[in-house]
Chain A
Amino acid sequence: MTKVSNTAAANTEISIQTADFSLADEVALLERDNAIDGAVVTFTGRVRNQNEGKAVTSLTLEHYPGMTEKSLAKIIAQAKERWRIGRVKVIHRVGELFIGDQIVFVGVTSKHRQDAFAANEFIMDYLKVQAPFWKKEASTDGANWLDAKTTDENKAAKW
């Protein structure tokens, strides 16, 4: 099973999955029958080949089923209160991922670009500090759970 969960509400979709995703397909879905929104902002996060000076070979993503979806839905609801946005799609992959693999996707549409830009960054910043995902990194140092970064906490606190 590649889809772990898929939650869709009005103009919002959250997908936790092991499978990869296609940026082109996601953009097409955000745009389909959506002539009202002139702006589409997407963010894709990928696995880097190094972290803090170590060569990374793979990442294993763990999550808390149920809480993950609830937490992302809350973050998206907050974004919808703060900005005039249309559609929102969040995809987060779990399981084992390798260098260059896509990990996370956030897509937001709005009538004008400013709202979609801001909401996309807000969702990503909050996902980083509130959504229950954990990365275990396999590198030249062996396999280690990553520590949370205070820079991520500070960034989210600025909103």
Chain B
Amino acid sequence: MIKVVFFAALREQLNCSELSINSDNLATVADLKNHLASKDENWQQVFANSALLSAVNHDMVSSEQAIKAGDEVAFFPPVTGG
């Protein structure tokens, strides 16, 4: 299983802060994005946003990053702290 977490505007748009997903057949962050986007129209729209950032195990990564069972994957909008 992969733990998937969402933050800020993304969390509100999806009305979801955390999910557990079976990682079989999901090799990369891009695969996971496609899988999530297939949920329904709202999820599809949210994941079509190219500005979306991803992290695996607390490190910022690109969509090509490989993922495996036990990983924590996060999706969030560009950051606005400071």
Contacts and interface: CB of A to CB of B under 8 A. Distances in A.
Given A64-B7, A67-B58, A147 B80 contact: yes
A85 B5 CA distance: 36
Contacts of B7: 62, 64, 132, 134
Interface of A: 45, 61-64, 66-67, 70-71, 92, 103-104, 124, 127-136, 145-148
B47 interface: no
B76 to A, nearest CB: 6
Contact of A104 (B51, B55, B77, B82): B82
Contacts, number: 72
B46 interface: no
Please classify the interface of chain A as helix (H, G, I), strand (E, B), loop, or mixed, using the class held by over half of its residues.
mixed
24 contacts: A61-B81, A62-B7, A62-B8, A63-B81, A64-B55, A64-B58, A64-B74, A66-B58, A70-B58, A71-B60, A92-B81, A103-B82, A127-B81, A128-B82, A131-B79, A132-B74, A133-B79, A133-B80, A134-B7, A134-B76, A147-B78, A147-B80, A148-B51, A148-B79
A90 B82 CA distance: 11
Contacts of A145: 8-9, 12, 77, 80
A145 B73 CA distance: 22
